[in-house]
């Protein structure tokens, strides 16, 4: 079925806008691919270094140009529960490659930050920048030019976006993303959030809080809320970088290992040495990006992707804008209720039918481009499947069921939870911003209240502790943009503002910073651009000004006469505090050159 005319029109607009970048990009990757098996351009010395530790048989294989070699980029560490399982993946991939007559080598590692460990801490100010650093680090591994395809091991927030930027920069190579899968379900996310609010109100102690947190985050695998990490898995599957059904299979299971080995064999099959050559930069085109945005809306995905997806697309010469994302939201219904957009977690989502059911429902109405290339071949229909372990450890796929196994978690296209998607762009005299409405009750989609000004999240927390946050208000938390302090997530504020909202106060937040993909129930107009550090209007808002956020009309404004607003002197604060400590001194160059939020907040392209 061809794509819905509105989806097709937005896609055509993106194709037109991208031409000045996309055409030279395709020329570059085609000439890079034309040099054939890349080892053949290396000198003997280079090659000897490149396979010094390989077995004699592998050296013979790699000396020629008929045996494909996989470059593994791994983001393994013990800090991220979602990445800890990757410790054993390279051995599994090498074994699968050998079985299939190929070779696999770890090309390099990349750093991976856990936003859960750094949430509310100074380290979070490195988080956004770590995305581009991960792309650079992956590039260092791949620059050895020993490889015919790349296998990327990454799951969490900035890691998958950084790896996708690398995969598209090395777009002449085929690329397969291999996930580790979600943690098994522990203490439900909403119960964890309730204990947090009780702790913030002094009704329970640290022991109870730590016990609740540890029951929620209890083992290997991705945290089970639908935040940025699990939005990444959804994106990798719906954009065709994962094998069908790979996203939400728990780590340490036979099916997980079978999928990892299948991915290694598939990577060997799609190199230039086979007859299904699938370079990543050709596979991912404007339709794949639009499919990603559609998936984001249909699942209530993370607001962080209004930045990461823009940066990822740009790496392939595709210019995606917030306007595109916002207009697609008007066309795509919400089909999934996963925390913070509901009470279920990603294990429940998968059990209800998961990605295969979601894709089959969206394809029914032409809300996805089916005519796309993927690592599995041609067409997204191949992803409308249910996956299970077959005989002797193989992966079995059957067509997705017609009905959701849990209609409270996954709806059909004919009876969606909401008729529009989760992410809206806001514009007005404060600038541009985004708001996630899939997790906010409809009665809170419009809010008008006086501004309370904070220049960092600690000030707001202190005001809460002092009991001065009374009545209805819009918290304006500024100097949190990329150039100010690296644009941290301010997710800890959700607990405090959630308490006030539950008491009946109408509250919202307006910030040039970010929120977590796990943030949800408090209306938040985030990623405000231009940022305060750049003298944006958010720096001209004063205590008591009336702020109006209208997520229905897509507007954000301060009720001050335009001339008066423009003639106000923008607030200026001393940011030297955040220039040192926890490695922030290493990222001064990034703060200086970071681009605007609506262009991805990137140091790589503006």
Ligand X SMILES: O=C(O)[C@H](O)[C@@H](O)[C@H](O)[C@H](O)COP(=O)(O)O
Cα–Cα distance between 358 and 301 in angstroms, integer?
A: 13
Angle between helices 159-169 and 228-238 (to 10 degrees): 30
**Cα–Cα distance for residue pair 37/26, rounded to 1 Å:** 18
Structural element, H or E, at residue 347: helix 346-351
Q: How far is the CB of 218 from ligand SF4 (least distance, A)?
A: 12
Q: Which does 80 bind (CB under 5 to 8 A by kind): ligand X, ligand SF4, none?
A: ligand SF4
Q: Is-contact 104 97, C-beta < 8 A?
A: yes
Q: Among ligand X, ligand SF4, none, what does residue 291 contact (CB within 5–8 Å per kind)?
A: none
Q: Which two tokens stand for residue 211?
A: 């016990």
Among 288, 291, 302, 501, interactor with ligand X by CB under 6 A = 302
Q: Which is nearer to ligand X, 229 or 375 (CB)?
A: 229
Rounded to whole angstroms, how far apart are CA atoms 30 and 24?
A: 10
Alpha helices in 456-512 (DSSP H): 457-465, 482-485, 492-502
- Least CB distance to ligand SF4 at residue 388 (A): 25
| Shortest separation between residue 422's beta carbon and ligand X, angstroms | 14
- Asked if 231 interacts with ligand SF4 (CB under 6 A), we say no
Of the candidate spans 221-229, 312-320, 323-331, 592-600, the one that interacts with ligand SF4 by CB under 6 A turns out to be 221-229
CA dist 491 and 223 (Å) reads 15
Q: Taking CB under 6 A as the rule, does residue 426 contact ligand SF4?
A: no
Q: How far apart are the first and last CA of the chain?
A: 36
Residue whose CB is less far from ligand X, 94 or 436: 436
Q: Establish if 307 lies at the interface with ligand X (CB under 6 A).
A: no
Asked if residue 115 binds ligand SF4 (CB under 6 A), the reply is yes
Judge whether 156 is annotated as a binding position: yes
Closest CA to 235 of 296, 164, 308: 296
Give the range of 224-232, 283-291, 433-441, 464-472 binding ligand X by CB under 6 A: 224-232
Please give the angle made by the CA atoms of 422, 135 and 582, to the nearest 5 degrees: 90
Q: Which is nearer to ligand SF4, 123 or 141 (by Cβ)?
A: 123
Cα distance between residue 225 and residue 223, in whole Å: 6
For residue 288, the partner it binds in ligand X, ligand SF4, none, with Cβ less than 5 to 8 A by kind, is: none
Give the nearer residue to ligand SF4 in terms of CB position, either 80 or 460.
Answer: 80
Q: Which residue number, 4 or 132, has a Cβ lying nearer to ligand SF4?
A: 132
Please state the separation of Cα 514 from the chain's center in Å. Answer: 13
262 contact choice in ligand X, ligand SF4, none (CB below 5 to 8 Å, kind-dependent): none
Give the C-alpha separation, 355 to 245, whole Å. Answer: 7
- Residue 518 as a binder of ligand X (CB under 6 A): the answer is yes
Q: Please pick, from the candidates 132, 157, 370, 550, the single residue that binds ligand SF4 as defined by CB under 6 A.
A: 157
Length of the chain: 606
- Least separation, in Å, of the C-beta of 549 and ligand X? 21
Residue spans of beta strands (DSSP E) within 400-550:
423-428, 431-436, 446-454, 473-477, 507-511, 524-529, 546-550
Member of 58, 125, 157, 327 binding ligand X (CB under 6 A): 157
557 near ligand X, judged by CB under 6 A: no
Does 222 contact ligand SF4 by CB under 6 A? Answer: yes
Output the smallest distance, CB 183 to ligand SF4, in A. 8
193 interacts with ligand SF4 by CB under 6 A: no
CB of 162 to ligand X, least distance (A): 14
Q: How far is the CB of 516 from ligand SF4 (least distance, A)?
A: 8
Judged by DSSP in three states, 603 sits in: coil
Reading the block at residue 500, the tokens are: 């006030």
Binding test (CB under 6 A) with ligand X, winner from 227, 244, 301, 523: 227
Query: In Å, what is the CA distance from 53 to each residue of 57, 80, 104, 469, 513?
Result: 11, 29, 12, 63, 46
Confirm or reject binding of residue 158 to ligand X (CB under 6 A). no
CB of 506 to ligand X, least distance (A): 23
Q: How far is the CB of 395 from ligand X (least distance, A)?
A: 28
Considering only 21-29, 76-84, 247-255, 345-353, which stretch makes contact with ligand SF4 by CB under 6 A?
76-84
Residue 119 touches ligand X, criterion: CB under 6 A: yes
Q: Considering the complex, state which of residue 212 and residue 289 has its C-beta at the smaller distance from ligand X.
A: 212
80 binds ligand SF4 (CB under 6 A): yes
Rounded to 5°, angle at Cα 476 from 475 and 482:
135
Residue 489 makes contact with ligand X by CB under 6 A:
yes
Cα(245)–Cα(394) distance, integer angstroms: 13
Q: Which two tokens stand for residue 45?
A: 């010395």
**Per DSSP, what are the bridge partners of residue 476?**
453, 510
Tell me: does residue 228 bind ligand X (CB under 6 A): yes
- What DSSP designation does 570 have? P
Indicate which of ligand SF4, ligand X, none lies near residue 81 (CB less than 5 to 8 Å, by partner kind). Answer: ligand SF4
CB-nearer residue toward ligand X: 128 or 508: 128
Closest CA to 168 of 331, 60, 338, 320: 320
Cβ neighbourhood burial of 293 (10 Å; 0-12, 13-18, 19+): buried
Q: How far is the CB of 186 from ligand SF4 (least distance, A)?
A: 12
Residue 428 is encoded by which pair of tokens? 């007005």
CB of 196 vs ligand X, minimal distance in Å:
8
491 binds ligand X (CB under 6 A): yes
What are the b/e assignments for 427-456, b being 16+ CB within 10 Å?
bbbbbbbbbbbbbbeeebbbbebebbbbbb
Report the DSSP beta bridge partners of residue 548. 448, 557
Among 3, 29, 156, 316, binds ligand SF4 (CB under 6 A): 156
Q: Is 180 in the site for ligand SF4 (CB under 6 A)?
A: no
**524-529 and 431-436 strand pairing:** antiparallel
Cite the annotated binding site by residue number: 156, 223
Binding-site residues for [4Fe-4S] cluster: 156, 223
Which residues contact ligand X by CB under 6 A? Answer: 115-116, 119, 157, 227-229, 302, 304, 489, 491, 516-518
Q: Which residues bind ligand SF4 (CB under 6 A)?
A: 80-82, 114-116, 156-157, 222-223, 227, 229
């Amino acid at each position: 079925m061809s794509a819905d005319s509105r989806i097709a029109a937005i896609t055509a607009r993106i194709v037109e806008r991208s031409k000045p970048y996309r055409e030279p990009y395709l020329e570059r990757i085609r000439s890079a691919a034309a040099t054939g098996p890349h080892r053949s351009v290396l000198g003997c010395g280079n090659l000897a270094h490149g396979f010094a530790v390989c077995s004699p048989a592998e050296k013979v294989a790699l000396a020629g140009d008929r045996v494909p070699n996989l470059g593994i980029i791994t983001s393994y560490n013990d800090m991220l529960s979602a990445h800890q399982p990757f410790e054993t993946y390279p051995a599994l991939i090498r074994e699968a490659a050998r079985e299939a007559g190929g070779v696999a080598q770890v090309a390099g590692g990349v750093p991976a930050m856990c936003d859960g460990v750094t949430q509310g801490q100074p380290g979070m100010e490195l988080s956004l920048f770590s995305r581009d650093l991960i792309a650079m680090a992956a590039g260092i591994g791949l620059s050895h030019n020993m490889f015919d395809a790349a296998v990327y091991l990454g799951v969490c927030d900035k890691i998958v976006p950084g790896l996708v930027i690398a995969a598209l920069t090395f777009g002449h190579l085929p690329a397969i993303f291999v996930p580790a899968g979600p943690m098994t379900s522990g203490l439900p996310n909403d119960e964890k959030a309730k204990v947090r609010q009780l702790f913030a109100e002094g009704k329970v102690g640290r022991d109870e809080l730590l016990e609740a947190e540890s029951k929620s985050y209890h083992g290997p695998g991705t945290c089970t809320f639908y935040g940025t990490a699990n939005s990444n898995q959804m994106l990798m599957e719906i954009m065709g970088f994962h094998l069908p059904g790979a996203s939400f299979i728990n780590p340490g299971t036979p099916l997980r290992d079978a999928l990892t080995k299948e991915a290694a064999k598939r990577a060997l099959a799609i190199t230039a040495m086979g007859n299904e050559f699938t370079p990543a930069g050709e596979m991912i085109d404007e339709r794949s990006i639009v499919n990603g945005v559609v998936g984001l809306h249909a699942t209530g995905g993370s607001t962080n992707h209004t930045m990461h997806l823009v940066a990822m697309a740009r790496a392939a010469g595709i210019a995606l804008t917030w306007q595109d994302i916002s207009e697609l939201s008007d066309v795509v219904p919400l089909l999934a209720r996963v925390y913070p957009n509901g009470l279920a977690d990603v294990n429940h989502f998968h059990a209800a039918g998961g990605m295969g059911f979601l894709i089959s429902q969206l394809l029914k109405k032409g809300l996805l481009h089916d005519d796309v290339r993927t690592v599995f071949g041609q067409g997204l229909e191949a992803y409308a499947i249910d996956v299970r372990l077959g005989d002797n450890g193989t992966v079995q796929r059957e067509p997705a069921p017609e009905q959701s196994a849990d209609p409270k978690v996954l709806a059909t296209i004919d009876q969606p939870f909401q008729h529009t998607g989760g992410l809206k762009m806001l514009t007005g005299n404060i600038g541009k911003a985004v708001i996630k409405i899939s997790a906010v009750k409809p009665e809170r989609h419009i809010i008008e209240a006086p501004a309370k000004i904070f220049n960092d999240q600690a000030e707001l927390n202190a005001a809460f502790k002092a009991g001065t946050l009374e009545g209805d208000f819009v918290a304006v938390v500024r100097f949190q943009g990329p150039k100010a302090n690296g644009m941290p997530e301010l997710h800890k504020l959700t607990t405090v503002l959630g308490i006030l909202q539950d008491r009946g106060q109408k509250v919202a937040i307006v910030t040039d910073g970010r929120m977590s993909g796990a943030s949800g129930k408090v209306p938040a107009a985030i990623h405000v651009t231009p940022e305060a550090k750049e003298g944006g209007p958010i720096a001209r808002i004063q205590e008591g000004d009336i702020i109006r956020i209208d997520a229905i009309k897509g507007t954000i404004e301060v009720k001050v006469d335009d001339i008066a607003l423009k003639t106000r002197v923008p607030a200026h604060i001393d940011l030297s505090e955040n220039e040192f400590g926890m490695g922030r001194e290493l990222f001064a160059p990034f703060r200086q050159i970071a681009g605007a939020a609506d262009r991805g907040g990137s140091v790589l392209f503006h």
